[in-house]
Structure 1
Amino acid sequence: MSHPAELARRLGTGDAVVVGLGAMIGAGVFAALAPASAAAGQWLLPALGIAAVVAYCNAMSSARLAARYPESGGTYVYGRRRLGDLWGHLAGWGFVVGKTASCAAMALTVGTYLAPGYARPVAIAAVLALTALNLSGVHRSVAATRIIVAVVLVVLAAVVVTGLLSGTATAGGATATGASVDGWGVLQGAGLLFFAFAGYARIATLGEEVRDARRTIPRAIPVALGITLAVYALVAGAALNVLGSAGLADATAPLVAVVTDAGAGWLAPVVRVGAAAAALGALLALILGVSRTVFAMSRGRHLPAGLDAVHPRRQVPHRAEIAVGIAVVALVAVADLRDAIGFSSFGVLIYYAIANAAALTLSPSEGALPKAVPVVGIAGCLLLAATLPGTAVLTGLVVFAVGVVVWWAGRGVRARRRAMS
């Protein structure tokens, strides 16, 4: 029997960090701050802290598992190896479906910022262009992400300086919630902000293309997460300083509102370009990560055979990338941005709950974490998932139920494959 196709290991620590930053910073700063502020009110920064704690636990669990199993597929692989075939399948299923919705959300964000009257055509063009870029090779994708991340960080630095040097929010923009804490709102805000931190999964799903993955991935994930948290805290602080929590919640383009209200309206076009670049960076990294999970699930026969093909010259999973691109284009035609964020958060939180459960089974000789880390990760993921908007929770439960049916239907195919190996 022929050996499974393998990907070339071309990425170093810096490349892996850039991929994670490209996925996280674009999604969170421009898409999640306003709805999270609507839920958490003046307690937005504590909500950000809660999301960061859960993300840290998930990141450390993912890093240890990725070092143990440096393969494409992330928690799909870890769940199968540590918890059983069904749990791995559900992790991969939730990741692929949820993150395909995230791809559509990011593509629509690009279209909305660049050409509001033609958002969907522009979004479709962006998906097709980035899919073609990914097909040209992972090194070119990382190089493009590096440029996008640099542009976005410069734009965000301008927003932070402008916002923090400005006077505090006016009475009209100040928070209206008073000093009392709405615990449910804070948790819901944390759940929505978690959408912004989920990009470090891209690093783990690229495990088969990273040099010295057992050392590189555990280094890259915490670094990318730490940089992202610092950026989010500074941007959120600047936004609250200028707009107040109520003004931030009402803003359709929060960071444009920050520079405008701070008296630096000339920066607004720059911020719009930065938002589009950030969304493009997130979309690029998302397509990259989802296609690798599709590749791994096809190789394990949890998705149709043939999607695990590797291009002989470019060494990329070209059929998986094309399939993901087609699926995202289809979703862009019907997707709603806010619903996509909530549904994606639910799917990713369940994905990481499974990752933490898998990490809980590691022995000391396998690099086990202190038990508190995966335990807090599991509890945090399930709690934040439960507090998301009801539509997102219901849709997510239905999608995972369909995933169980798909797993059950494919058992015979996988059994025959194991018998032949």
Structure 2
Amino acid sequence: MIQPQSTVDRVARGVVSTFGAGLFLGLTPAAALAGWWLVPAMVLAAVVAVLFALSTRESPAGGVAPLVGILGRIAAAAAAATTFGRYVLPGRPEVGAVMLVIVVAGVVLLAPPLPGVVDRVAAVIVVGVLVLVVVSCFAIAPVDLAVAPPADAAGANSPLGLAPAALLLYLCFVGSPSAVRWERVAVVGVALAVSLAVAVAVLWQLGGERLALSAAPLRDALAAADAARVDGVLVVGVTVASVSALRGVLGEIRELAPVRPAHVVALAAAAAALGGLLLEPEYTIAGASVLLLGEAGIRLLGGRRDKA
């Protein structure tokens, strides 16, 4: 995939790609692990992403790094597809996930590269929708639960869950990378500001316990805030974010493929569709985060070894 040429285009592509794979569903497993501690966990995940952005080499590394990166992006593609299915076709989410992967894979393989203005418009749409969700959640005070959850319930506040929650949320900050390191940092900064606002707003409405059980946390938070009328706008934002994330990761897979990139993309899309069909999002999100973190670590070690 040809990278966008301007700084604004590259940052916009990175920002819109980060949200589609992690934020819309990643808050649920993070809340199950840490409750309100997912907020500092999100900051920790962003700090790790910034450190790797500043220290890892920007050109593709040889050896095992491309393979680990491809596997991580397949898992991220499955997570993005599941996001689309959960929000857009909640009755048959697996059908929505498979359909989206097929359509986007066809676009990546057959269509010419899209102009940079598409990424800028997509970023404006997604960020605008997320800001609307935040405002809607804070517009009304949350309703107290009639029965308090047990102290050991999933989603109860636990600092012990901070590290695993940060690992899960790492996917929220590794969208389509830019060629320049400071642009990667800018992507993480924008993603962190928006993601923190969304996380606090959703936690404000649902609490850690209810969030930990939510299949579509942003939709449930809007319903709790008596703002279900915003649901149609949310569907638009989720669709744009999911498509952008899938387009980004499949394009990166084509760049990382050592041979026959079109065939590799087709196989990766099939694997992502299968993952979206069979796996719960917490597994694909966790797998993507671990593998992409591993890829960054391998590249970092490879860069230091080359300098030695």
Range class of TM-score, shorter chain: 0.7 to 0.9
1:348 counterpart residue number: 292
2:230 counterpart residue number: 267
**Rg larger in structure:** 1
1:276-291 to 2 correspondences below 5 Å: 276-291=239-254
Q: Is the 8 A contact 2:28 2:217 kept in 1?
A: yes
User: Structure 2: 5+ residue runs without aligned partners?
Assistant: none
Q: Does 1:53 align with 2:47?
A: yes
2:128 counterpart residue number: 154
Instruction: Give the Å deviation of 1:169.
Output: 5.8
Which structure is richer in relative contact order (CA contacts within 8 A, separation 6 or more)?
Answer: 2
1:38 counterpart residue number: 32
Q: Is the 8 A contact 2:3 2:10 kept in 1?
A: no
What TM-score, normalized by structure 2, do the two folds share?
0.87
Residue type of the partner of 1:289? E
Counterpart among 265, 280, 284 of residue 321 in structure 1: 265
CA distance in 2, matches of 1:55, 1:247: 28
CA distance 1:321–1:162, shift in 2 (3 Å): same
Select between 327-336 and 283-292 the one with higher mean Cα deviation.
327-336
Counterpart among 172, 176, 188 of residue 196 in structure 1: 172
Counterpart among 339, 351, 361 of residue 283 in structure 2: 339
CA distance in 2, matches of 1:190, 1:107: 22
Once the two structures are aligned, what percentage of the paired residues are identical?
27
Q: Does 1:245 align with 2:208?
A: yes
Instruction: Give the Å deviation of 1:33.
Output: 0.7
Number of residue equivalences: 304
1:117 counterpart residue number: 91
CA distance 1:174–1:261, shift in 2 (3 Å): farther
Q: Is the 8 A contact 1:103 1:286 kept in 2?
A: yes
CA distance in 1, matches of 2:120, 2:166: 28
CA distance in 2, matches of 1:329, 1:171: 38
1:4 counterpart residue number: none
1:56-71 to 2 correspondences below 5 Å: 56-62=50-56, 65-66=57-58, 69=59
Counterpart among 121, 132, 137 of residue 106 in structure 2: 132
Instruction: Give the Å deviation of 1:177.
Output: 5.5
Counterpart among 97, 103, 106 of residue 71 in structure 2: 97
User: Structure 1: 5+ residue runs without aligned partners?
Assistant: 1-6, 81-88, 208-216, 299-306, 309-317, 367-421
Q: Cα deviation per residue 1:330-389 (whole Å; 9 max; x = unaligned)?
A: 4444343322112222211211222332454576xx9xxxxxxxxxxxxxxxxxxxxxxx
Select between 13-22 and 352-361 the one with higher mean Cα deviation.
352-361
Residue type of the partner of 1:353? G
Residue type of the partner of 1:138? P
What TM-score, normalized by structure 1, do the two folds share?
0.65
